């Protein structure tokens, strides 16, 4: 995003902050931070504080352009005092491990932050223009308040939504860091100000534009499949829910669509699932989706190939973007000495399972994020 913007408007850029996963080369007049994702790091905090400092220095005649993408919730982390980064990391990890959907996770993030939930907009007098790549599929597609936890837009969530998020994820009060527990109590009692809400004058000079989303990724995948001679069907509704239970339903939907179309058929869809971490293994939501799909294909006795991958090239805390599976996955894995697939899912250990048979998909970081792609080829 930064490269494209500088290509068009580089001469007008006086300075800036770049926060991205992994190493990043700072463009001219900009400071780059190799920030953390999906869990924030010290570099995430440094990037957020640098951006807030820049925003506060600007005058009313200046323009602040925010190039925002999915993942920014972790890449920009400015804990609201007196919270620490460790407090935010602990809460983020706990919610991710319990499969918190993005809207609940971000409601919490916004209320523990000094930059999210419209607070970046509140920090500047400049005209604010946000150009966003969206990875948000549900509950409100491309919701500006959810993309990157909405640092430049009004936040409709409240402290009561934060409490409900913890409750829905089964996260008891005593499991929260003391500072977070105290801040939640103060927020519920009205002793801490809410995040800026719709109608707040801080947004009078702010505009927001979604410039790319999962639909762009689906259109590109569909066009590529058509060039290869496949009949193409696109599932418009986002794929959501827990990966291991959503995948079988998705496979059934794919096979029903393919049954009424000329073969070979390619079915393209997108979205973002969740994983409830109960085991000590390694994997990601797309790897779990692919394995659950393989189990269901074997149970139905049908031939199809399934690809599940993150458009950012990262699936969970692994070096894979996702995995590919078909009707031969289970027998090939058994021959390679892999554990029982159901046990693998129970242990959240899909990475080793697919590594054994060479079916992990490694693209490397793509430097963009519009959610996950799910593609099926039916011969």
pLDDT in tens, 270-311: 999 999 988 999 999 999 999 999 999 999 999 999 999 999
Do 207 and 219 fall within a single domain? no
For residues 199-206, average pLDDT: 96
Closest to 50 (Cα-Cα) out of 21, 75, 73, 13? 75
Burial 110-137 (b: 16+ CB within 10 A, else e): bbbbbbbbbbbbbbbbbbbbbbbbbbbb
Instruction: Look at residue 27 in the predicted model and tell me its pLDDT.
Output: 87
Instruction: Look at residue 173 in the predicted model and tell me its pLDDT.
Output: 87
Top-confidence residue, 98 or 378: 378
Alpha carbon separation from 102 to 56, 69, 97, 249, 250 (Å, rounded):
29, 14, 13, 21, 20
Do 149 and 73 fall within a single domain? yes
Do 147 and 283 fall within a single domain? no
pLDDT in tens, 205-240: 999 999 999 999 999 999 999 999 999 999 999 999
Closest to 118 (Cα-Cα) out of 145, 89, 152? 152
Residue 38: asked if its preceding bond is cis (omega within 30°), the reply is yes
Do 187 and 311 fall within a single domain? no
pLDDT at 21 over 90: no
* Whether the Cβ atoms of residue 150 and residue 116 lie closer than 8 Å to each other: yes
User: Which of 212, 243, 261 corresponds to the end of one domain?
Assistant: 212
**What's the CATH code of the domain at 184?**
3.40.50.10180
Poorest-pLDDT segment among 19-23, 82-86, 201-205:
19-23
Identify the three-state secondary structure at position 89: helix
Identify the three-state secondary structure at position 312: coil
User: Which of 212, 237, 260 corresponds to the end of one domain?
Assistant: 212
Distance CA 191, CA 71 (A): 30
Identify the three-state secondary structure at position 110: helix
pLDDT at 379 over 90: yes
Instruction: Look at residue 101 in the predicted model and tell me its pLDDT.
Output: 85
Instruction: Look at residue 258 in the predicted model and tell me its pLDDT.
Output: 96
pLDDT at 23 over 80: no
**Mean per-residue pLDDT over the chain, rounded:** 94
Do 203 and 237 fall within a single domain? no
**What's the CATH code of the domain at 260?**
3.40.1480.10
Instruction: Look at residue 76 in the predicted model and tell me its pLDDT.
Output: 94
Burial class (CB in 10 A: 0-12, 13-18, 19+), 99: buried
For residues 182-197, average pLDDT: 95
Do 96 and 226 fall within a single domain? no
- For the entire predicted model, the pTM comes to 0.86
pLDDT at 18 over 90: yes
Instruction: Look at residue 103 in the predicted model and tell me its pLDDT.
Output: 84
* Whether the Cβ atoms of residue 73 and residue 117 lie closer than 8 Å to each other: no
Do 260 and 363 fall within a single domain? yes
* DSSP H stretches of helix in the chain: 2-9, 42-57, 72-75, 85-97, 102-111, 119-122, 159-168, 178-188, 214-227, 243-259, 285-300, 329-335, 341-346, 350-356
Q: What is the DSSP letter of 133?
A: E
Instruction: Look at residue 99 in the predicted model and tell me its pLDDT.
Output: 85
Do 164 and 220 fall within a single domain? no
pLDDT in tens, 86-128: 999 999 889 988 888 888 988 999 999 999 999 999 999 999 9
Find the domain containing 350 and state its range: 214-378
Write the DSSP assignment of 172-233 as a string of letters: -GGGS-HHHHHHHHHHHTT-SPPPP-TT-GGGTTEEEEEEE-HHHHHHHHHHHHHHTT-EEE
Instruction: Look at residue 120 in the predicted model and tell me its pLDDT.
Output: 97
Do 297 and 342 fall within a single domain? yes
Top-confidence residue, 61 or 368: 61
Alpha carbon separation from 282 to 33, 36, 277 (Å, rounded):
27, 18, 10
Residues 6+ apart with CB under 8 A from 137: 214, 238, 239, 240, 270, 271, 272, 371
Do 207 and 228 fall within a single domain? no
What's the structural domain count of the chain? 2
User: Which of 212, 233, 250 corresponds to the end of one domain?
Assistant: 212
Alpha carbon separation from 7 to 4, 45, 213 (Å, rounded):
5, 28, 21
C-alpha 145 chain-centroid distance? 14
Instruction: Look at residue 158 in the predicted model and tell me its pLDDT.
Output: 96
Instruction: Look at residue 145 in the predicted model and tell me its pLDDT.
Output: 94
pLDDT at 355 over 80: yes
Alpha carbon separation from 367 to 59, 177, 257 (Å, rounded):
31, 33, 32
pLDDT in tens, 133-143: 999 988 899 99
Instruction: Look at residue 139 in the predicted model and tell me its pLDDT.
Output: 86
Instruction: Look at residue 343 in the predicted model and tell me its pLDDT.
Output: 96
pLDDT at 172 over 80: yes
* Whether the Cβ atoms of residue 28 and residue 83 lie closer than 8 Å to each other: no
Instruction: Look at residue 202 in the predicted model and tell me its pLDDT.
Output: 95
Do 140 and 259 fall within a single domain? no
Instruction: Look at residue 297 in the predicted model and tell me its pLDDT.
Output: 97
Instruction: Look at residue 28 in the predicted model and tell me its pLDDT.
Output: 86
Do 231 and 373 fall within a single domain? yes
pLDDT at 185 over 90: yes
Residue 264: asked if its preceding bond is cis (omega within 30°), the reply is yes
**β-strand partners of 210:** 132
pLDDT at 190 over 90: yes
Position 71 confidence tier, pLDDT thresholds 50, 70, 90: confident
């Amino acid at each position: 995003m930064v490269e494209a913007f500088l290509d068009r408007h580089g001469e007008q850029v006086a300075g800036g902050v770049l926060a991205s996963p992994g190493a990043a080369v700072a463009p001219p007049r900009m400071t780059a931070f190799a920030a953390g994702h999906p869990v924030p790091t010290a570099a995430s905090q440094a990037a957020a504080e640098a951006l807030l400092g820049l925003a506060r220095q600007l005058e009313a005649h200046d323009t602040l352009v925010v190039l925002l993408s999915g993942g920014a919730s972790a890449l920009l982390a400015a804990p609201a005092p007196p919270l620490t980064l460790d407090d935010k990391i602990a809460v983020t990890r706990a919610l991710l491990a319990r499969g918190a959907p993005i809207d609940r996770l971000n409601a919490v993030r916004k209320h523990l932050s000094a930059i999210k939930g419209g607070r970046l907009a509140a920090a500047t007098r400049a005209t604010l223009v946000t150009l966003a790549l969206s990875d948000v599929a549900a509950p409100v597609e491309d919701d500006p308040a959810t993309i990157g936890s909405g640092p430049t837009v009004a936040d409709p969530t409240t402290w009561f939504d934060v409490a409900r998020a913890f409750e829905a994820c089964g996260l008891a009060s005593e499991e929260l860091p003391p500072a977070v527990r105290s801040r939640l109590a103060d927020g519920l009692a009205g002793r801490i100000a809410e995040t800026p809400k719709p109608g707040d004058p801080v947004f009078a000079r702010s505009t927001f534009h979604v410039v790319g989303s999962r639909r762009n990724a689906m259109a590109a995948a569909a066009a590529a499949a058509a060039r290869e001679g496949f009949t193409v069907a696109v599932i418009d509704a986002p794929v959501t829910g827990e990966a291991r239970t959503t995948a079988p339903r998705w496979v059934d939907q794919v096979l029903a669509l393919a049954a009424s179309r000329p073969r070979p058929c390619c079915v393209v869809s997108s979205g973002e699932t969740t994983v409830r971490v109960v085991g000590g293994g390694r994997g990601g939501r797309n790897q779990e989706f692919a394995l659950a799909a393989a189990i269901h294909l074997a149970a139905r006795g049908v031939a199809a190939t399934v690809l599940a991958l993150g458009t950012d090239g990262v699936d969970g805390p692994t070096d894979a973007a996702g995995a590919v599976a078909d009707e031969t996955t289970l027998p090939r894995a058994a021959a390679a000495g892999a554990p029982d697939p159901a046990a693998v899912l129970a242990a959240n250990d899909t990475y080793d399972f697919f590594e054994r048979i060479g079916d992990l998909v490694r693209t490397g970081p793509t430097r963009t994020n519009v959610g996950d792609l799910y593609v099926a080829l039916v011969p």
